[in-house]
Amino acid sequence: MTLKSPFSLSRALKAQKKLRRLVEKVARQSWPLAKSTKAKKKHVRPQFVERIGFGSNPGRLKMKVYVPPRLARNSPLVVLLHGCLQTPESFDAGSGFSALAGRRRFALLCPQQSRSNNANLCFNWFRPSAVARDRGELMSIKQMIDTTISDHRLDGSRVYIAGLSAGGAMACALAATYPDMFDGVAIFAGLPFGAARDAVSALSLMRSSVERSALAWGDLVRLASPGATLWPPLSIWQGSDDRTVHPANAEAILSQWLDVTGLERNAAILRMKPWGRVERWQAGGRDLISYYRLDGFGHGLPVGKDSLAGVKGGRDRFVLPAGVSAPRELMKLWGL
């Protein structure tokens, strides 16, 4: 049976679109508040603000900050370090750290590399001058942290940092160089501190890691912070199928920090998970080192599949679905 219509097809399609928009608008207004809020959070992405002028900035980095509206005084600060070929915005789009900042009430600081420093937007974790105390990119990030705490009256005792790949290596370097600055550190597909001296040795390290004793690994950290006795809780994350940063580097990071903290390798509490395994070393009633090993996972930040469902415009290539959501897990580890 065929029905004739006085309207043209194009006019009919336009009418359908208008009707759909109207229905959606009415539905949003009619839904319970919880659902309406959820829809808005899904589509409205928080905006980062670039802070100009935060110190001498010897590393020539950019400083981007997201602070939720009406954030209380003495709130925590989370620092997020992107990997190569990423920006703070692309990294956040899939990981959802800014959305968590709004819900969990913390400020989010995202240092950004520039192409003039590194053509691939990698933090220069392999250059000794970039990761030395009070020099280079490391000093720039420290100045950003100090400035953010001062600007927004945050709690300087609750500063947490997470980094992916080159950003993970920089997070490791910051923990080694300024251990008293952080209350939690997360390293995703990163590299041990002090392992490379230039780009050539960095590429070799990424392919296969370097053989060193635990004592030798630990000495690199102790040399950076002589006399330090207190170290921030550390979580190490690594995929077994990572083809960019060899998984042996995660073992090297673990060896480095076990030696620094004086914890024994066989003292771990092991938990098997559907997605892999977690080993935890405890001291003083808290987890001091956690090692997350994800089976069949590649190079990236693991997030729950539902976290990517609402991402528009394409997700970041290094934010990958997994059986565990790292951002949510960090909220638990850090008590946020």
CB distance 83 to 318 below 8 Å = yes
Question: Of 83, 173, 72, 162, whose CA–CA distance to 121 is shortest?
Answer: 83
Identified catalytic residue from 98, 165, 235, 255: 165
Cα(318)–Cα(302) distance, rounded to whole angstroms? 9
Backbone phi, psi, residue 5, to 5°: -130, 140
CA 129 to chain centre: 23
| Cβ neighbour number for residue 56 with a 10 Å cutoff | 9
Task: Give the residue among 94, 150, 108, 160 at the shortest CA–CA distance from 335.
Answer: 160
129 catalytic, yes or no? no
- Locate tokens 């065929």: which residue? 2
Q: ∠160-165-167 over CA atoms, to 5°?
A: 45
User: What does the alpha-carbon distance between residue 38 and residue 285 come to, in Å, rounded to a whole number?
Assistant: 37
Q: CB under 8 Å, gap of 24 or more: what pairs does 304-310 form?
A: 304/328, 307/94, 307/95, 307/96, 308/94, 310/42, 310/43
Tell me the catalytic residues: 165
